[in-house]
Amino acid sequence: MMNKFPKIDIIIPVAGRGERLMPHTRYYQKCLLPVAGKPILNHIIKNFEGLNINKIKLITGHHSEQVEDFVMKRSDYKYECIVQEEQLGLGHAIKLGLEKSDKPVLIVLGDSIFNINYKDFCSSVGSKIGVLEVKDPERYGIIEIRDNKIVKFVEKPKKPKSNLAQIGIYYIDSQINLLESIEYIIKKNIKKNGEYQLPDAFQNMLENRHFFEYEVVKEYLDCGVIETMLNSNKVLLSQNSKNYISQKSIVKNSNLEYCTISDGCYIENSNLYNVILLNNTKIINQELSNEIIGCYSYDNKEKDIYDKERNVY
């Protein structure tokens, strides 16, 4: 039977350098770091089941070749990778994926996993913004509401009038409306911290009588910094087997709980709690908790860049 739900484009921006996840993001695109045994991007795409997807567009930059390789191996949807040559902000990145059409678009950031019913989220009368109640709204783009309606979008306000933060999931019912608003803020050089931001484009749409709804998202796993990525790893593993251990890795005489062990790892005589090991990492005689650890090669020579004193490579 034909899916009556309208076809939708999805844009996932994954161009950033992931400074808050260094040193790992020197070698990996942030969205491809493993959480509960799978790349973050894999978890994001898996949750799109039920949507009638036209195309998934990935806005790439840092380690773009890794993202292209990832999607080339998939056959579930039609993909397109678009390189953002200059890092001019999220608004600029999204502009690269928009079309001059009234087709709807779903925008999902590449470092967040939303366990929601996307079909319901994209069934809005107008556009819809996913928000989360936060304790530090000055760190976020927020919405201000009146009579349960969005009346203003503000990017990182110094004196916030709301604690409803935009957390990286947006359904826009007309691509051209968003495209024209982003072009407007670029033409007027409206920037925050030197970048073109989505809330400024949304504010322009609002001033032109575009209708927005909002939804408070309850199941949201942030993977943008080490602490939250490890928390997301633990939450996802707790729902399944408590550990993911690659068949290409070896574990000897060790206790593991809430751990993601990638390909080519070797673990011996160690206790690990909520640890993510990246490819080819060796752990011997260690007590570790709440860490992301990787072994990296460069200049064709193996060099250990982790803590040698602790014998962790």
Instruction: For residue 2, tell me if it sits in a domain.
Output: no
**Alpha-carbon distance 243 to 224, whole Å?**
21
Identify whether residues 104 and 198 lie together within a single domain.
Answer: yes
Domain range for 262 is 241-310
**Alpha-carbon distance 62 to 84, whole Å?**
9
User: Which residue in 107, 79, 77 sits closest to 95, CA to CA?
Assistant: 107
Identify whether residues 216 and 286 lie together within a single domain.
Answer: no
Q: Which helix (H) or strand (E) holds 234?
A: helix 226-238
Identify whether residues 155 and 267 lie together within a single domain.
Answer: no
Identify whether residues 274 and 175 lie together within a single domain.
Answer: no
Identify whether residues 111 and 51 lie together within a single domain.
Answer: yes
Q: What's the rounded mean pLDDT across residues 24-30?
A: 94
Total structural domains in the chain?
2
* Structure tokens that stand for 101 in this block: 């059409």
Residue 125's pLDDT is what?
Answer: 80
Instruction: For residue 231, tell me if it sits in a domain.
Output: no
Identify whether residues 251 and 217 lie together within a single domain.
Answer: no
222, 252, 268: which is the final residue of a domain? 222
Judge whether residue 48 has pLDDT over 80: yes
How many Cα atoms sit within 13 Å of 184 on the Cβ side? 16
Where does the pLDDT of residue 206 fall: very low under 50, low under 70, confident under 90, or very high at 90 and above?
Answer: very high
Three-state SS at 248: coil
192, 222, 252: which is the final residue of a domain? 222
Q: What's the rounded mean pLDDT across residues 15-31?
A: 93
Identify whether residues 295 and 199 lie together within a single domain.
Answer: no
Q: Which helix (H) or strand (E) holds 69?
A: helix 64-72
Judge whether residue 313 has pLDDT over 50: no
Instruction: For residue 229, tell me if it sits in a domain.
Output: no
162, 190, 222: which is the final residue of a domain? 222
Identify whether residues 284 and 197 lie together within a single domain.
Answer: no
Structure-token match 């319901």, residue found: 120
CATH for 186: 3.90.550.10
The proportion of the chain whose per-residue pLDDT surpasses 70, expressed as a percent, equals 93
Three-state SS at 95: helix
CA angle (258 as vertex; 257, 262 as ends), nearest 5:
105
Identify whether residues 126 and 158 lie together within a single domain.
Answer: yes
Judge whether residue 283 has pLDDT over 80: yes
Identify whether residues 45 and 123 lie together within a single domain.
Answer: yes
Instruction: For residue 167, tell me if it sits in a domain.
Output: yes
Identify whether residues 248 and 289 lie together within a single domain.
Answer: yes
